[in-house]
Amino acid sequence: MGVCLRKQNTVKEENTLLCLNEGLSSTIRNVPIRSIYKLGRILGTGHFGVVKEVQVIGSEEKAAIKFILKDLVEDRINSLKQEIEILKRVDHPNIIRFFEAYEDERYIYLAMELCTGGDLLRLMTKNDHIDENKSKIILRQMLLAINHLHNNNIIHRDLKPENFLFESEDDNAALKLVDFGLSSKFRNRRMSMHKAVGTVYYLAPEMIKGAYNFKCDMWSIGVIMFVMLSGKLPFWSKFDCETCHQILNGAPEFIEPIWENISQEAKNLLSHLLCMNPSDRFSASEALDHPWFNSQPKPRIVMNQFTIDALKEYSKISAFKKEAMNILVKYLSLNEIKSMNALFSDLDEENNGSISMKLLLNSLKNAGSSIAARNEIKEIIKSLDLDKNGKINYSEFLAATYYSKHHIQQEELWLTFLHFDADRKGYITRIDIERAFSRSGHALKEQDIKNIMKEFGKEPGAKIGYDEFERLLKM
Ligand code: PIT
Note whether 220 and 265 are same-domain residues. yes
Pocket test for ligand 1, best of 8, 62, 66, 159 (most atoms within 8 A of CB): 66
Note whether 146 and 250 are same-domain residues. yes
Per the structure, the complete domain to which residue 359 belongs is given by: 305-468
- Catalytic-role residue among 158, 179, 217, 432: 158
> Quick check: is 1 in a domain?
no
Note whether 422 and 400 are same-domain residues. yes
How far is the C-alpha of 17 from the C-alpha of 74, rounded, in Å? 7
Ligand 1 geometric centre to CA of 229 (Å): 25
Q: For position 37, which CATH number holds?
A: 3.30.200.20
How far is the C-alpha of 422 from the C-alpha of 435, rounded, in Å? 9
- Domain end marker among 62, 90, 112: 112
Note whether 398 and 415 are same-domain residues. yes
pLDDT reported for residue 196 = 47
Ligand 1 geometric centre to CA of 5 (Å): 25
Pocket flag, ligand 1, residue 43 (CB < 6 Å): yes
Pocket flag, ligand 1, residue 114 (CB < 6 Å): yes
> Quick check: is 369 in a domain?
yes
Pocket flag, ligand 1, residue 167 (CB < 6 Å): no
Ligand 1 geometric centre to CA of 66 (Å): 6
How far is the C-alpha of 288 from the C-alpha of 118, rounded, in Å? 25
Note whether 367 and 439 are same-domain residues. yes
For atom 2 of ligand 1, which residue has the closest CA?
115
| pLDDT string in tens for the chain (475-residue length) | 333 333 333 223 222 223 344 445 556 777 788 888 999 999 987 656 789 999 988 888 899 999 988 887 777 777 788 888 899 889 999 999 999 888 888 888 999 999 999 999 999 999 989 999 999 999 999 999 999 999 999 999 889 999 999 999 998 899 999 988 776 666 555 555 555 455 789 999 999 998 889 999 999 999 999 999 999 999 998 888 999 999 999 888 898 899 999 999 999 999 999 999 999 999 999 999 999 997 655 555 556 677 777 888 888 888 899 889 988 888 887 777 777 787 787 778 777 778 877 777 777 777 666 777 777 777 777 777 655 667 788 888 888 888 877 678 888 899 899 889 988 889 999 999 998 888 777 788 899 999 999 999 999 899 999 999 999 988 8
pLDDT reported for residue 193 = 56
Note whether 107 and 133 are same-domain residues. no
Helix (H) or strand (E) holding 404: none
**Structural domain count of the chain:** 3
| DSSP for 427-470, written as a single string | EE-HHHHHHHHHHTT-PPPHHHHHHHHHHTT--TT--EEHHHHH
> Quick check: is 9 in a domain?
no
pLDDT reported for residue 261 = 93
> Quick check: is 273 in a domain?
yes
Note whether 456 and 320 are same-domain residues. yes
Pocket flag, ligand 1, residue 180 (CB < 6 Å): yes
Note whether 134 and 268 are same-domain residues. yes
> Quick check: is 12 in a domain?
no
Pocket test for ligand 1, best of 27, 37, 50, 51 (most atoms within 8 A of CB): 51
Note whether 138 and 106 are same-domain residues. no
Name the phi and psi angles at 39, rounded to 5: -80, 140
Pocket flag, ligand 1, residue 47 (CB < 6 Å): yes
Q: Is 71 a catalytic residue?
A: no
> Quick check: is 157 in a domain?
yes
- Domain end marker among 58, 89, 112: 112
Stated pTM of the model? 0.80
Q: For position 152, which CATH number holds?
A: 1.10.510.10
For atom 9 of ligand 1, which residue has the closest CA?
179
Q: In b/e form, how buried is each residue of 138-164, taking b as 16+ CB within 10 angstroms?
A: bbbbbbbbbbbbbbbebbbbbbbbbbb
> Quick check: is 298 in a domain?
no
Ligand 1 geometric centre to CA of 76 (Å): 19
Q: Which residues make up each annotated binding site for ATP?
A: 70
Q: For position 376, which CATH number holds?
A: 1.10.238.10
Note whether 95 and 139 are same-domain residues. no
pLDDT reported for residue 6 = 31
- Domain end marker among 63, 90, 112: 112
> Quick check: is 5 in a domain?
no
Q: Which atom of ligand 1 is nearest to the CA of 47?
A: 18
Ligand 1 geometric centre to CA of 202 (Å): 19
CA angle (76 as vertex; 71, 77 as ends), nearest 5: 85
Q: Which residues make up each annotated binding site?
A: 70
Note whether 461 and 334 are same-domain residues. yes
How far is the C-alpha of 16 from the C-alpha of 75, rounded, in Å? 7
Q: Which atom of ligand 1 is nearest to the CA of 180?
A: 15
Note whether 95 and 179 are same-domain residues. no
